[in-house]
A and B are shown apart, each in its own frame.
Chain A
């Protein structure tokens, strides 16, 4: 089944404790991206990657890191999480070209206390 998976789905952590949210897709998509969704602020893009070893900032990259060492994986790293990073995070992927249809993962709800 074609899908984007994220882990963990729920995470409660404390300020300053490094964490990684994993994202994996099995569709051989070149493009992958991370978003956060907050009440009143909507959905905002954090980082995206057009292919392996190519990453770029979205609208709200501060406080986040990403890497793209393999085509299927695009982890989101919070080196020193803060309470303002409490949010619902989505990973997504699509082909570069073709229909451009973008598939979203199930989401990761992160709480930083």
Chain B
């Protein structure tokens, strides 16, 4: 079955880089996503990557995808206190699906 795993907590100092890791099981996923959720708020799409890509960079965000190991990571450069939030990894539930399977979320705490 589909399963997305990610560590629950990450703590970094302001200005350092954050790396949030995720593993998934569905090799037929077409797209993989990173969402951000701030306390009391909804989901904010940060970035996504097509399953045939290895890397995608968008300003301070870098997504790395290792399809062989089914490993996805999100690197946030120059982490700021405003980056403190829960980050969800998600995969499409199979090729051509609009349904997403989410990880449990990684709570990122940024220490000033």
Instruction: Indicate whether A and B interact.
Output: no
